[in-house]
Structure 1
């Protein structure tokens, strides 16, 4: 049997059984290597040789985590929360309540989007922003499943489409892995190829507003929230804005999230917005927050290296091309579904790309897909499953903020709604986009 299928199958089954993703990747790689006839030493050599490809991404995540925690300690999030509470606590008629809902939805959506691109702090904003407004959401009888869908949209769509922040990381991974798999592309082509799949996410967000528009009652219990500080120094606000701008412009100018995050941290250090005596602890805390994602990325690159070393990719491509040569549309659909299950299993779109690119790029070339269609295939297949995966940051983050009072179930209130609202439209729009770009 094909070693690639066995390796991916073992990794996926172990992940679905809730075995640690890093361990699942390592075990899947070893089983695949041994199945292909590689010796233990050759399998280890291939795996360790591939680890370096994920080092830059892992360091980017670590520094961004430290930057995020540092920003959270400047007091800027507290000011934002206090402003929201003052606005939505005002008494008024149903029209005012409707306006309050709309403003909350817009704020959460913008913060989720900014957390991926403009202010790359990832999910760090959720536990800072969501728990303090849960009582207000309860009062307005907002269905928290809608909030989970709003947050998931903002955490996923930007990195698919916008080449900034985490989007730059994701698209760099796509370009690098496609080149390693035999197809060199330009980074500027990725946003063009991902327009239609991104529209699928927009359609899913509209569906979420329709499905979860009705009022839903929650018990108005005590929600523990850290005391908010509204007396933030003006200088801290100014210096934090400078740090964010420095991180953004350096990242854009150098195409390096490492340089961008480092420049933002440096500004916070030099200006005193980040206290020197607290800096080491805060940066370590932030790096620890993102360390798991970094280890997954490194392990996934080792996994992909073993898959390539088996030499079974070529045979899989040849057999698949023969099987689907008369029906490219069906081949594309099956590849998207494979991407869905792989991402759901490991919980990371970023870690999925090295795995599927090694298989899908040669197959796409064999089937005659254009470079833009291949980009859309890899980018969409990687993003599929991020919404709905129990192990994904895009579901774990919203649940962490919405379940502080124990009234939001991770599977049924976050994973299932986001799966239905985003994965199904993403398959449909992604398939159409790939076929359109053929």
Structure 2
């Protein structure tokens, strides 16, 4: 799957072909491969629907003028930057702002990656004027998207840390009298998250610090319209819509319901005309359609890989090679987690799989509860950062490639893999050894 993607084969086609090759190679009849793939597609539907709902909410939110205001302010600042020193300050301001927005997109304003195709395209002219390497922007956004659920137990973080990571570990450890608590997860993930920060700083300050020239290709706006200033009551309703989206998501655990509540309240605020709702909703769904299709195909791929029954075999073979070394065991668990999850691209759906294997394995090597959380949580993050089929890489590409000057594999996937997965393995291993 990774090889086909790097050869610029469509990611959806790469997933389908790889599922067939993997299933047949594992000994499954072709009929079973097709059946498992089709059955697995259903598990990706909730993710695709959630992305569509959040896309609609994000497009409606863009009607408030937030994205236009941010991009225009940045452009004004860059226009006033008549020296390299001022431009450098502006660059760091952009990095910090995009990082904060990326983190907020899964915590305070839970639109996830839906903000990227709305906020980034208007800023491309700013980046071009500064000759800013877009690979840095891809790394910054990916960092914010992944770190937000690694250490912040709010929004997506609450789902990942509490409902998936801790729950899966306790399920796997129930028969072994091994239980962990929710407050342990954020602390266990701090060291791996620091590793990602180191990788981000390396990308910004060393790897991609040189200027890169892009042409000012025309970017067609989604729709031309005259923006009107919001009335005080509209501003209040927008704030209520954002808060309600987060609260509903936290209460119900559903991004779909959260996005729908937010969209409905924005519709009532008068930000959009009543007759425009259907069009705006459709635009939001189309904006996230490709990401949704890839996530659905990835679910089918994951189902075939699970049906082969060879994931536990992979772990058993790794254990056989390790022997009694705790250091090698920690490294093997991280690398095996990377292999398993990177092809699937979703830590949220695969952490339960590796938890069932890694919990007894971690206890056998006498790892502490904090170390086991760090190992499994880091393995999950490895699957998101640098995977061709992860929304953490698909999202940045959706915004940066609107003018066809940013390649998904070589400009998003490869940079994020190098600068995040390598530090995650190193610092995840350190966490396992120290905790």
Give 3-state SS (helix, strand or coil) of 1:420's partner: helix
Task: Tell whether the 8 Å contact from 1:33 to 1:306 is kept in structure 2 after alignment.
Answer: no
Q: Give the CA deviation at 1:326.
A: 0.8
1:414 — aligned with what? 412
Gaps of 5+ in 1: 1-10
- Which shows bigger deviation, 65-74 or 16-25? 16-25
* 1:147 and 2:145 correspond: no
Question: 1:304/1:46 Cα in 2 relative to 1: closer, same or farther (>3 Å)?
Answer: same
CA–CA separation in structure 1 for the residues paired with 2:171 and 2:150: 20
Which of 99, 117, 139 matches 1:109? Answer: 99
Task: Tell whether the 8 Å contact from 1:47 to 1:305 is kept in structure 2 after alignment.
Answer: no
2:266 — aligned with what? 268
Q: Give the CA deviation at 1:132.
A: 2.2
Map 1:219-238; keep pairs closer than 5 Å. 219-226=214-221, 230-234=227-231, 235-238=233-236
Task: Tell whether the 8 Å contact from 2:192 to 2:428 is kept in structure 1 after alignment.
Answer: yes
Map 1:277-316; keep pairs closer than 5 Å. 277-287=275-285, 289=288, 291-292=292-293, 295=296, 299=300, 302=303, 306=307
Give 3-state SS (helix, strand or coil) of 1:430's partner: helix
Map 1:80-159; keep pairs closer than 5 Å. 80-159=70-149
TM-score, normalization: structure 1?
0.80
Question: 1:329/1:243 Cα in 2 relative to 1: closer, same or farther (>3 Å)?
Answer: same
Question: 1:164/1:20 Cα in 2 relative to 1: closer, same or farther (>3 Å)?
Answer: farther
Task: Tell whether the 8 Å contact from 2:135 to 2:208 is kept in structure 1 after alignment.
Answer: no
1:228-269 per-residue CA deviation (whole Å, 9 max, x = no partner) reads 855342354432222111122333455554553343233223
Question: 1:431/1:113 Cα in 2 relative to 1: closer, same or farther (>3 Å)?
Answer: same
Question: 1:214/1:378 Cα in 2 relative to 1: closer, same or farther (>3 Å)?
Answer: closer
1:248-297 per-residue CA deviation (whole Å, 9 max, x = no partner) reads 23334555545533432332233333543333443355456263366357
Question: 1:176/1:277 Cα in 2 relative to 1: closer, same or farther (>3 Å)?
Answer: farther
1:384 — aligned with what? 382
1:3 — aligned with what? none
* 1:174 and 2:158 correspond: no
Question: 1:246/1:237 Cα in 2 relative to 1: closer, same or farther (>3 Å)?
Answer: same
Q: Give the CA deviation at 1:203.
A: 1.0
Question: 1:176/1:407 Cα in 2 relative to 1: closer, same or farther (>3 Å)?
Answer: same
Task: Tell whether the 8 Å contact from 1:21 to 1:296 is kept in structure 2 after alignment.
Answer: no
2:432 — aligned with what? 434
1:198 — aligned with what? 193
Task: Tell whether the 8 Å contact from 1:116 to 1:122 is kept in structure 2 after alignment.
Answer: yes
* 1:366 and 2:361 correspond: no
CA–CA separation in structure 2 for the residues paired with 1:201 and 1:306: 33
Q: Give the CA deviation at 1:403.
A: 3.2
- Which shows bigger deviation, 330-339 or 229-238? 229-238
Q: Give the CA deviation at 1:329.
A: 1.5
Q: Give the CA deviation at 1:200.
A: 0.7
1:365-404 per-residue CA deviation (whole Å, 9 max, x = no partner) reads 3333333222211111111143332333322332333334
Q: Give the CA deviation at 1:157.
A: 1.3
CA–CA separation in structure 2 for the residues paired with 1:358 and 1:212: 38
Gaps of 5+ in 2: none
* 1:164 and 2:154 correspond: yes
Q: Give the CA deviation at 1:206.
A: 1.3
Give 3-state SS (helix, strand or coil) of 1:384's partner: helix
Q: Give the CA deviation at 1:21.
A: 6.9
CA–CA separation in structure 1 for the residues paired with 2:36 and 2:339: 28
Task: Tell whether the 8 Å contact from 2:155 to 2:246 is kept in structure 1 after alignment.
Answer: yes
Q: Give the CA deviation at 1:104.
A: 1.8
1:6 — aligned with what? none
Task: Tell whether the 8 Å contact from 2:200 to 2:420 is kept in structure 1 after alignment.
Answer: yes
Question: 1:59/1:19 Cα in 2 relative to 1: closer, same or farther (>3 Å)?
Answer: closer
1:397 — aligned with what? 395
1:151-203 per-residue CA deviation (whole Å, 9 max, x = no partner) reads 22112211222122222333323234434444554333321221111111111
- Which shows bigger deviation, 64-73 or 285-294? 285-294
Task: Tell whether the 8 Å contact from 1:204 to 1:425 is kept in structure 2 after alignment.
Answer: yes
TM-score, normalization: structure 2?
0.80
CA–CA separation in structure 2 for the residues paired with 1:231 and 1:404: 26
Number of positions where the alignment pairs a residue of Structure 1 with one of Structure 2: 421
Give 3-state SS (helix, strand or coil) of 1:117's partner: coil
Question: 1:27/1:176 Cα in 2 relative to 1: closer, same or farther (>3 Å)?
Answer: farther
Q: Give the CA deviation at 1:333.
A: 0.6
CA–CA separation in structure 2 for the residues paired with 1:400 and 1:55: 20
